């Protein structure tokens, strides 16, 4: 399915201003909660699961949530950094832009977006305590829009990744970063959705949030109310195209996988079939007599690739991978990318009523992350 690429902006893009309406909406939400609790207490109702004598007081939940925000912001702020990228030009240095990052280990490992530091000749990292350090670009991965930096400094504070637990739709989150040059700004919202695509990277599994994200937030953390990083803020819907209150963050599970590889070798190695794929509609599949769950169809097998050598042909629907049913294009691409080069996989291919299985040995995906 084709998507309108102009609808999305990376959160580091210049000139994008997000309407500052989230605070008002959050305030109304808390007021409504407080009023609702007040009515319940006035009517003599008890909160579920509490003892008879323990009743909620008006505003108690709102105050508790507010204190949680304050505590999380204070604990995570020292781990959030401002990133400035510069490029050498004609013997001089010019600014490329600025973004945010989050310290993931006390030895100076920092995660940010690849588009924040790509093609930079120098990267400067500023800490919340006023220190500023030149950073080494350890590696970047354009396919996921992630990069890893390292700084040499003492007394660093890190933020933990919540990589083993998926974000839950509806849970409260904070976005922390440096939007529009405002250092360590904090916005609040909820997780609005999961598994989103914005057509800005090869591999996408975005968390959607309504926490306000603006230029300069790119690379900063989206955190839960325990101060754990659940995502790296990356993009925002374009208000000019009708988008409002829609931001996207790379989930912590993906961040953990990519950062681990980049920190170890400076690059990410992925399996590669050598096909151009499309995701088709239910109507398309049904019209061709296909009744399975897959919506992944081969558009073209590139010459000289494993898919071409195995005889994969355009128009075939990829029904299964190693016997497991295929669903969405995003999920299928992620499954192949997680496999190592040299892995032999079996594809079940369907065209009309014809079904056949082919085996192919994955090559290494060409890595654009060397393009800085």
* Active-site amino acid positions: 115, 145, 218
The Cα 111–Cα 100 span in angstroms is 9
The Cα 74–Cα 210 span in angstroms is 21
Question: How distant, in Å, are the alpha carbons of 100, 139, 233, 320 from that of 88?
Answer: 21, 19, 27, 49
At what angle are helices 60-76 and 22-42 packed, to 10 degrees? 140
State the DSSP string of 19-46. Answer: -S-HHHHHHHHHHHHHHHHHHHHHTT--
Count CA atoms closer than 13 A to 158's CA, side-chain side.
Answer: 15
Beta-bridge partners for 207: 249
By three-state DSSP, how is residue 115 classified?
helix
| Helix intervals (H) in 266-350 | 282-287, 306-309, 329-337
Beta-bridge partners for 112: 147
- Cβ atoms 362, 340 nearer than 8 A: yes
How far, rounded to the nearest angstrom, does the alpha carbon of residue 351 sit from its chain's CA centroid?
35
- Cβ atoms 317, 323 nearer than 8 A: no
291: left (phi over 0), alpha (psi -120 to 50) or beta: alpha
Q: Please report the sign of the dihedral spanned by the C-alpha atoms of residue 124, residue 126, residue 132, residue 138.
A: negative
């Amino acid at each position: 399915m084709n998507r309108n690429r102009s609808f999305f902006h990376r959160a580091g893009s210049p000139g994008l201003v997000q309407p500052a309406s989230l605070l008002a909406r959050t305030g109304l939400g808390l007021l409504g909660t407080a009023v609702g609790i007040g009515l319940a207490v006035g009517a003599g109702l008890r909160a579920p699961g509490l003892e008879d004598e323990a009743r909620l007081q008006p505003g108690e939940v709102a105050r508790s949530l507010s204190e949680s925000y304050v505590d999380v912001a204070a604990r995570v702020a020292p781990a959030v950094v401002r990133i400035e990228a510069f490029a050498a030009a004609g013997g001089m240095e010019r600014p490329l832009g600025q973004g945010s990052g989050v310290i993931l280990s006390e030895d100076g490992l920092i995660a940010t977006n690849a588009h924040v530091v790509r093609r930079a000749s120098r990267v400067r990292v500023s800490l919340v305590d006023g220190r500023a350090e030149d950073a080494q670009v350890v590696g970047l991965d354009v396919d996921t829009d992630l990069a890893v930096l390292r700084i040499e400094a003492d007394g660093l504070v890190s933020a933990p990744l919540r990589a083993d637990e998926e974000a839950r739709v509806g849970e409260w989150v904070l976005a922390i970063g440096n939007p529009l040059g405002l250092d360590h700004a904090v916005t609040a919202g909820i997780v609005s959705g999961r598994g989103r695509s914005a057509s800005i990277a090869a591999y996408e599994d975005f968390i959607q949030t309504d926490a306000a994200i603006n230029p300069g937030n790119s690379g900063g953390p989206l955190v839960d109310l325990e101060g754990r990083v659940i995502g790296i803020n990356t993009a925002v819907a374009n208000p000019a195209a009708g988008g409002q209150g829609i931001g996207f963050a790379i989930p912590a599970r993906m961040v953990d996988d990519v950062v681990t590889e980049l920190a170890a070798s400076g690059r990410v190695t992925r399996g590669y079939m050598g096909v151009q794929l499309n995701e088709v509609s239910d109507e398309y599949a049904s019209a061709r007599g296909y009744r399975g769950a897959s919506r992944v169809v081969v558009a073209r097998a590139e010459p000289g690739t494993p898919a071409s050598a195995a005889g994969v042909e355009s128009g075939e629907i990829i029904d299964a991978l190693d016997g497991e049913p295929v669903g969405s294009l995003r999920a299928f691409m992620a499954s192949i990318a997680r496999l190592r080069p040299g892995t032999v996989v079996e594809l079940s291919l369907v065209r009309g009523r014809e079904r056949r299985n082919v085996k192919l040995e994955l090559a290494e995906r060409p890595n654009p992350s060397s393009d800085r």
